[in-house]
A and B are shown apart, each in its own frame.
Chain A
Amino acid sequence: NAGVTQTPKFRVLKTGQSMTLLCAQDMNHEYMYWYRQDPGMGLRLIHYSVGEGTTAKGEVPDGYNVSRLKKQNFLLGLESAAPSQTSVYFCASSHRVEEKLFFGSGTQLSVL
């Protein structure tokens, strides 16, 4: 039982490049989330999903896209990376919104 697994752990991109972050959970959770963490700004919700095939916008969705084709996976895409997207990205999952969030170990992304 691995919990929530994020890949990759570190990535450096050049401005304009694209990439996809993968989040996988093995707890059969319905809810999955992508947050970004920046100094002094806490955890800000990018996009989330309440079930397979569904996605919804969070607080800071611009510049990101997501997909939930399988219940266990939640992908975060950056089509054209910008330096403002330099951040630590956390994926999380839960059975319901009013239950404990299980976080992945985070992805440190730098956009030069």
Chain B
Amino acid sequence: GENVEQHPSTLSVQEGDSAVIKCTYSDSASNYFPWYKQELGKRPQLIIDIRSNVGEKKDQRIAVTLNKTAKHFSLHITETQPEDSAVYFCAARFNRDTDKLIFGTGTRLQVFP
């Protein structure tokens, strides 16, 4: 079925360290993979996305890598800062019948000063 698995569920790092969150998806036809950040009490907001014709995409301190063969993609945050503390969600577009955007279960990232 349509499924996105996300790990880890919680992640604690020291300020300045890197953080990596991984997601796997079930549908080999999936072709769009966004990442959303949700701060406490706020709505989710898109931080970066990648399409299946690209292996890696960077935007300042964040990057996403995609391995279509293994059906997994990862979010990398370098030089973490306390304001990076939030819940991060990966998602994948499933389009066998009609378009759906399915989210992973989320990773709570805590960056300690």
B45 to chain A, nearest CB (A): 7
Q: How many A-B residue pairs have CB under 8 A?
A: 58
Q: How large is the interface on A (under 10, 10 to 19, 20 to 34, 35 or more residues)?
A: 20 to 34
Tell me the dominant secondary structure on chain B's binding face.
strand
Is A45 positioned at the interface, with any CB of B under 8 Å from its CB?
Answer: yes
Residues of chain B within 8 A of A42, CB atoms compared? 6, 89, 103-106
Complex alpha-carbon distance, A43 and B31, angstroms? 19
Complex alpha-carbon distance, A26 and B36, angstroms? 22
8 A Cβ contacts from B20-36 to A? 31-32, 34, 36
Which chain B residues have a beta carbon within 8 Å of chain A's beta carbons?
2, 6, 9, 31-32, 34, 36, 43-46, 49, 51, 89, 91, 93, 95, 98-106
